[in-house]
Chains A and B, each alone.
Chain A
Amino acid sequence: MRTAIRYLLVAAAVLAVSIGTYRLLPASIGKAPSAGHGDQHGDEHGHDEQSATMNDAKIAAAGIELDTAGPVVLRETLRVNGILQANQEALVQVTPRFPGVIRELRKRVGDQVASGETLARVESNQSLTSYELKAPIAGTVIERQAALGEYVSEQKPAFVVADLTSVWADFAIARRDLRRVKNGDTVVIDPEDGGDPIAAKISYVAPVGASETQSALARAVVANDGRLRPGLFVTGNVVMAEKPIPLAIKLAALQSLDGRTVVFVRSGDKFEPREVELGQRDSERVEILFGVTDGEVYAAKNSFIVKAEIGKASAAHEH
């Protein structure tokens, strides 16, 4: 009897030790994560997840600029690439009437010529008399395909004289932009020579397209003081008609949130994301068709901070 109790007690003691030692290690291992790499976020989902509360001081510290939605005038521009050409309507190809040999050359490429001025003398092969090749218009000799003593004929122009006081700027307009470019639009041409850009008007939009580039041509006739040289490429910015828009916001305000385009509108101390429908835009502003009303204040510059603040609960570092 007594022995039984004794062994029972011994067994209990052994059990107690086993449980004690045994419990300690694994139990503590199991608890590890709660003490480890924090999980303190995740409980932040409690308050309204889709808005950010920020007071004015916080906004200023974060460098967020506020702006008011309202009417603006959009100045839409379209960047196009083009080439300068001599004005084909002020360009003459001077071709000898009779085949013959050049006896005298009076003008070289680049020379200015007056209307009726002699360019060269040609000795006709038929009559063996010389006749003069004259410039039909005032302009600049831009090409000469004849050398002294060379045989020239009516087959091929010997001189090209062009009036370079105006040149053509031919721009290729891609298919998707064709609808937006019209006669009369202003185009600002940058000859990339370090000088100021030159403004001109689009005077012609080609009714046919180029099959190779799938684009159509828009042309501006540009007055030229010598800076524009035919044959060079230029870039132009087509300024579409200025459009007054009843309600617009700055482009910097647009952010995407869960796949939607939103603007953060301020109400009280909060920023609320508003899904917006956008209309026309220029380089700075965009028209709002739906989502924000006139006079509402929104986050413009650094609006990303508001997005970051709203989404920060989900920001985590996984390895």
Chain B
Amino acid sequence: MIDAILGFSIKQRWLVLFVTLGVAALGAWNFTRLPIDAVPDITNVQVQINTSAPGYSPLEVEQRITFPIETGMSGLPRLQYTRSLSRYGLSQVTVAFQDGTDIYFARQLVNERIQQAKDQLPPGVETAMGPVSTGLGEIYMYAVEAKAGARNESGEPYSATDLRTIQDWIIKPQLRTVPGIVEVNTIGGFEKQYHVLPDPQRLMAYKLSFRDVMTALAANNANVGAGYIERNGEQYLVRTPGQLGTLDDIRNVVIGTRQGVPILVSDVAAVQEGKELRTGAATLNGAESVVGTAMLLIGENSRSAAQGVAERLRAVNPSLPEGVVARPLYDRTTLVEATIATVEKNLVEGALLVIVVLFLLLGNIKAAIVTACVIPLSMLIAITGMVENRVSANLMSLGAIDFGIIIDGAVIIVENCLRLLAAEQHKRGRLLNTEERFETIFRASREIVRPSLFGMTIIAVVYLPVLTLTGVEGKMFTPMALTVLMALAGAAVLSITFVPAAVALFVTGRVSEHENWFMRGARRIYTPLLDISIRNRGVVAIFAGMLVLLTGLVASRMGGEFIPSLDEGDIAMHAMRIPGTSLTQAVDMQMSLEKVLREFPEVKDVFSKIGTAEVATDPMPPNVADTFVMLKPKAEWPNPARTKADLIQAIEKRVADVPGNNYEFTQPIQMRFNELISGVRSDVGVKVFGDDLDTLLRVAGQVQGIIQAIPGAADVKTEQVSGLPMMTVKLNRAALSRYGFSAADVQATLEIAIGGKDAGMVFEGDRRFHLMVRLPEHLRADIEAIKALPIPLPAAAEGQATAMRTALGGATLAQPRYVPLSALADIDIAPGPNQISREDGKRRVVVTANVRDRDLGSFVSEAQQAVAEKLTLPAGYWIGWGGQFEQLVSATKRLAIVVPVALLLIFLLLFMSLGSAADAALVFSGVPLALTGGIIALILRDIPLSISAGIGFIALSGVAVLNGLVIIALIQRLRADGEDILTAVREGALTRLRPVLMTALVASLGFVPMAIATGAGAEVQRPLATVVIGGIISSTILTLLVLPALYVLFRRERQDTTVAQAQTEAQPGEI
């Protein structure tokens, strides 16, 4: 079949060329549709359900909101787990689905269940699903700022409330329509509200209650349509507007009448514009600010969406009031472009180097160019495949492609064609005619196509284990393996169609018969070395074995890391304070922190998001601030040579001086990923499930004690669930009943007094603002005031308008009819639950631990045993184990099957190709030898082992096997032709010197730019490139020298007696 394809390709070369061009064009078109991002998206399929419940404490949120929603989600198809968080005023339930579930399907299911659960929720809470976005979603951030001296309509400087209003009603609506943007999230400033602040004294004087005020406001704030009338053939629509529009409108609302005198809202209450009780704030460079974040829809192209937002924001600016600007703070495009530029630069430089190498070794520029053409072509094919498979282009998926390796197959074919063409030309002593040329090319291709395809298949097979990874690792590396596989498949197809066709078409004229100076030099060095190696094959074998053992030993002691993290160019920092820190305090502390950060000349802007934004994509308490430190381009630094790590260290040192804060340094995207995948991120997590929070904490404390005692345990911590100062107003039921109150009366008063109650909306054109009824500030400001809060007594059976009468009647009756709150309730301040976490429908507290200097598996089994023995759990409490070790266990199990299967598969391929188990084993021996070079290279460059490096080793194994296969296949053929083993080995090794050197040089030089690159994203590629370069150097040397020696050592049974003789004969050599 392959022969037929080869024959067809050469015969119909133009057709093949045009088809190839068409495929390339398709790839180019697909390139424009390819989602491009900096890093792969590692978010799982999850739906967040956010419920805002203003005023509810964590306990109430959990009981009334989280529980019904969470239990409603159980039993969904493809459900992986549910997780929830109950905080002040917010319930967040995260429903995670198995990978591969369609997000819209999942949301549909969740939405259905929310509708069912809604009946059980208390009135007044709003349930919404989080935006359809991922960890990479926050692609653009901007601040709304007022220039110095700018004044608003009423002639005052712009307040945070004004800026927020501008953001909400001018900027946000315009940005939301940018294609690819799913949500614009706002944090900071104050949402404008209209506040009605009734004075309880005055209410009592008029014998009115809060309810009367609310009812009056509600009854006087509606527009009504009244149909239409017809008049003389015309139709008049009828409407009666009755909405409140201004502060005065609200003041003039009539609550009731007393003796014919209307009582207006303004008689009993102050009416003013006010601020919401906010849960989040934003600061910029040490001042309060409003920050907007544009979020990307899942699957959209982040670069084009971010560009769209930037463009729209520029267009929005002229529509803002004089003196107000929306200024970009963070633009993902910058990072994506820098990363893509790095990848691009590495690829282009690599490709150029490959062409140079090919030219040097082949000595034929046309052939070199034809071979190099395979690079962009297979790339374009891969891109088409990526678009089809919804793999996004990013540092991992594109960065790991070594074109040298991918075009190995093509290189071998072109090389063989040239060699045979030269030989044929030499034999005939003239230029070949077309017929002869095609015939030779066909023969050359056919001769080598099998090992070449086998080699490629082998390289493909080594990537198979990567495809079986799941979870975060899977999301990180599967796209890369897929891309490589698709590029390989493309290259394979090209090498049997396009390559022979193009060689047939373009490699015309005279083919240099003699090797160029480079090859001659290489051969002159190689021949004696080969002889020495064959002669001392025993020593060589032992030496090689020792080398493998030694490097294996060294490798086992090398430091490891997960993946080298991509340098995003900016710094993100969690600034954390103790739980219970108030938002105002946190804003103050954050502002002074930002001023300190601004001292660094490298810093362009510092902005922070404190607490929870409008859409609670990350429900943070007020004591945590996401601080974004945006750096200037390196060229603008006072010392451009300063490394970022050094800067971070300096910043860390400086901010440690700012009291009251704890920090965690990370990067913007990394931070977002951490927020989203969360779960348990330590090595081991012991989850204690149960009902009572105190018991849970007690048990967790015991678990912590047990775990701490186990050798290897580090950073053992219990989840922080308490520590929020909570003022509990404990109603005294006896007192309530004496006065004739119901608990709800007092609670309602308290609710309105402190939190305020929504009494409708005030419309200003399209803008709408909440109308709140709340107590005046001086009555709710501090604990003493709240204790003295007057609670009006329930109306006794008394006549109306008798205030005067009783005043005249008897002195004691004239007292205002109220009691202070302290007479009805005890006010108690104690730390309460800060947040309540639940998992799979049950409360849980997690004890986390990391493991140092010990193997994770044995630690976990020891810990499990210790916990089972020492811990007696109360009834209704149980323990679950989680953490990274779960992934490790599942990954280990999977790899334990897949890696041997892959190795067996390779072995089978080799066996099929060589027809001899022993030969296959010999080729196989090249793999450990290749790994040694990779490890040495890592050690030399002081790079730790990582998954990136691991991928490098995988690629390397493929190349090593391919090289060995090429040599052994020829030796076998020569021996089959009747050559004796030594001649066959020498002949085979020397003949294959050029292709082996070529594939090696091409593969390693192709990675050189990557190994030395310093641009954005280089740190992820560097280990990979280093391993491949180092490994290929060692693998080449070993393939060329050790493999022949081993072959002679192990395959000479038939010539045992002639060894000595052969050795002496081998000396003169023949070229």
A residues with CB within 8 A of B: 2, 6-7, 9-10, 12-14, 16-42, 52, 54, 58, 61-63, 79, 81-83, 85-86, 88, 143, 160, 168, 170, 172, 174-176, 206, 208, 210, 212-215, 217, 219, 230-233, 235, 256, 259, 304-309, 311-319
Q: How far is the CB of B594 from chain A (nearest CB, A)?
A: 13
Cβ contacts under 8 Å, B921 to chain A: 6-7, 9-10, 13-14
A133 to B74, CA, bound (A): 86
**A16:B548 contact, CB within 8 angstroms:** yes
- The proximity string for B residues 813-834 relative to A, scoring 1 for CB distances below 8 Å and 0 otherwise, is 1111111101100000111000
List 22 A-B pairs, Cβ < 8 Å: A9-B1050, A22-B896, A25-B950, A26-B888, A29-B888, A29-B891, A30-B884, A31-B562, A81-B201, A82-B816, A210-B813, A210-B815, A212-B793, A213-B817, A233-B201, A256-B829, A304-B660, A308-B660, A312-B662, A316-B576, A316-B720, A318-B835
**A17:B469 contact, CB within 8 angstroms:** no
CB-CB under 8 A for A62 and B659, given A21-B954, A318-B719: yes
Cβ contacts under 8 Å, A12 to chain B: 545
B895 CB–A CB distance under 8 Å: yes
**B576:A317 contact, CB within 8 angstroms:** yes
B949 CB–A CB distance under 8 Å: yes
For B893, give the chain A residue with the smallest CB separation.
A26
A83 to B204, CA, bound (A): 11
Cβ contacts under 8 Å, A20 to chain B: 552, 555, 927-928, 931, 953
Cβ contacts under 8 Å, A10 to chain B: 918, 921-922, 924-925
Q: How far is the CB of B189 from chain A (nearest CB, A)?
A: 23
B660 interface neighbour in A27, A29, A41, A305, Cβ under 8 Å: A305
Across the A-B interface, give the 8 residue pairs with the lowest CB-CB distance, nearest first: A308-B660, A319-B678, A10-B921, A315-B576, A24-B950, A32-B562, A311-B578, A16-B928
CB-CB under 8 A for A24 and B814, given A32-B562, A259-B831: no
Q: How far is the CB of A74 from chain B (nearest CB, A)?
A: 15
B650 CB–A CB distance under 8 Å: no
**A23:B556 contact, CB within 8 angstroms:** yes
Cβ contacts under 8 Å, B785 to chain A: 79
A208 interface neighbour in B469, B812, B817, B823, Cβ under 8 Å: B812
Q: How far is the CB of A128 from chain B (nearest CB, A)?
A: 32
Cβ contacts under 8 Å, A307 to chain B: 578, 660
A232 to B945, CA, bound (A): 82
B725 CB–A CB distance under 8 Å: yes
Q: How far is the CB of B577 from chain A (nearest CB, A)?
A: 5
**B888:A30 contact, CB within 8 angstroms:** yes
**B664:A40 contact, CB within 8 angstroms:** yes
Q: How far is the CB of B944 from chain A (nearest CB, A)?
A: 9
A83 to B588, CA, bound (A): 42
Cβ contacts under 8 Å, B850 to chain A: 33-34, 39
A214 interface neighbour in B578, B664, B719, B819, Cβ under 8 Å: B819
**A25:B469 contact, CB within 8 angstroms:** yes
A169 to B527, CA, bound (A): 118
A315 to B589, CA, bound (A): 14
For B576, give the chain A residue with the smallest CB separation.
A315
Q: Which of B252-260, B801-809, B966-974 lies at the interface?
A: B801-809
A315 to B814, CA, bound (A): 54
CB-CB under 8 A for A21 and B465, given A33-B683, A62-B659, A317-B574: yes
Cβ contacts under 8 Å, A235 to chain B: 201
Q: Using a Cβ–Cβ cut-off of 8 Å, how many residues does chain B contribute to the interface with A?
A: 114
Query: Which residues of chain B (107-146) have a CB below 8 Å from chain A?
Result: none
Cβ contacts under 8 Å, A259 to chain B: 830-831
Cβ contacts under 8 Å, B658 to chain A: 61-62
For A80, give the chain B residue with the smallest CB separation.
B788
Q: How far is the CB of A308 from chain B (nearest CB, A)?
A: 3
CB-CB under 8 A for A319 and B819, given A26-B888, A26-B891, A26-B892: no
Cβ contacts under 8 Å, A175 to chain B: 823
**A172:B816 contact, CB within 8 angstroms:** yes
Q: How far is the CB of B534 from chain A (nearest CB, A)?
A: 18
**B681:A83 contact, CB within 8 angstroms:** no
A61 to B900, CA, bound (A): 62
**A206:B812 contact, CB within 8 angstroms:** yes
Cβ contacts under 8 Å, B811 to chain A: 85, 88, 168, 170, 206, 217, 219
B577 interface neighbour in A18, A172, A312, Cβ under 8 Å: A312
A307 to B588, CA, bound (A): 15
B657 CB–A CB distance under 8 Å: yes
Query: Which residues of chain B (764-799) have a CB below 8 Å from chain A?
Result: 785, 788, 790, 793, 796
A308 to B577, CA, bound (A): 6
Cβ contacts under 8 Å, B560 to chain A: 27-28, 30-31
B residues with CB within 8 A of A: 85, 201-202, 204-205, 465, 469, 473, 545, 548, 552, 555-556, 560-563, 565, 574, 576-579, 581, 585, 588-589, 592, 618, 620, 623-624, 657-662, 664-666, 674-675, 678, 681-683, 715, 717, 719-720, 723, 725, 738-739, 785, 788, 790, 793, 796, 803-804, 807-808, 811-820, 822-823, 829-831, 835, 850-852, 856, 884-885, 887-888, 891-892, 895-896, 899-900, 903, 907, 918, 921-922, 924-925, 927-928, 931, 945-947, 949-950, 953-954, 957, 1050, 1053
**A81:B790 contact, CB within 8 angstroms:** yes
**A22:B899 contact, CB within 8 angstroms:** yes
**A42:B681 contact, CB within 8 angstroms:** no
Cβ contacts under 8 Å, B585 to chain A: 304
A85 to B809, CA, bound (A): 11
A143 to B675, CA, bound (A): 72
CB-CB under 8 A for A6 and B556, given A20-B928, A20-B931: no
A54 to B945, CA, bound (A): 42
B659 interface neighbour in A81, A86, A306, Cβ under 8 Å: A306
A9 to B922, CA, bound (A): 9
Q: How far is the CB of A189 from chain B (nearest CB, A)?
A: 13
**A29:B819 contact, CB within 8 angstroms:** no
CB-CB under 8 A for A30 and B817, given A10-B925, A41-B662, A315-B577: no
B675 interface neighbour in A9, A26, A36, A319, Cβ under 8 Å: A319
Cβ contacts under 8 Å, A42 to chain B: 715, 717
**A81:B818 contact, CB within 8 angstroms:** yes
A16 to B620, CA, bound (A): 48
A56 to B918, CA, bound (A): 79
Q: How far is the CB of A314 from chain B (nearest CB, A)?
A: 7
For B556, give the chain A residue with the smallest CB separation.
A23
**B903:A18 contact, CB within 8 angstroms:** yes
Q: How far is the CB of A62 from chain B (nearest CB, A)?
A: 5
Cβ contacts under 8 Å, B738 to chain A: 214
CB-CB under 8 A for A27 and B891, given A61-B592, A170-B814, A319-B678: no
**B562:A309 contact, CB within 8 angstroms:** no
A103 to B813, CA, bound (A): 35
**B804:A21 contact, CB within 8 angstroms:** no
Q: How far is the CB of B792 from chain A (nearest CB, A)?
A: 11
Cβ contacts under 8 Å, B588 to chain A: 63
Cβ contacts under 8 Å, B725 to chain A: 256
Cβ contacts under 8 Å, A160 to chain B: 808
A217 to B678, CA, bound (A): 60
A27 to B885, CA, bound (A): 11
**B899:A21 contact, CB within 8 angstroms:** yes
**B720:A314 contact, CB within 8 angstroms:** yes
Q: How far is the CB of A293 from chain B (nearest CB, A)?
A: 25
Q: How far is the CB of A46 from chain B (nearest CB, A)?
A: 14
Q: How far is the CB of A319 from chain B (nearest CB, A)?
A: 3
Cβ contacts under 8 Å, B807 to chain A: 83, 85-86, 230-231
For B721, give the chain A residue with the smallest CB separation.
A318
Q: How far is the CB of A247 from chain B (nearest CB, A)?
A: 22
Cβ contacts under 8 Å, A62 to chain B: 592, 658-660
A19 to B924, CA, bound (A): 14
**A214:B823 contact, CB within 8 angstroms:** yes
For B928, give the chain A residue with the smallest CB separation.
A16
**B953:A21 contact, CB within 8 angstroms:** yes
**A213:B928 contact, CB within 8 angstroms:** no
Q: How far is the CB of A318 from chain B (nearest CB, A)?
A: 6
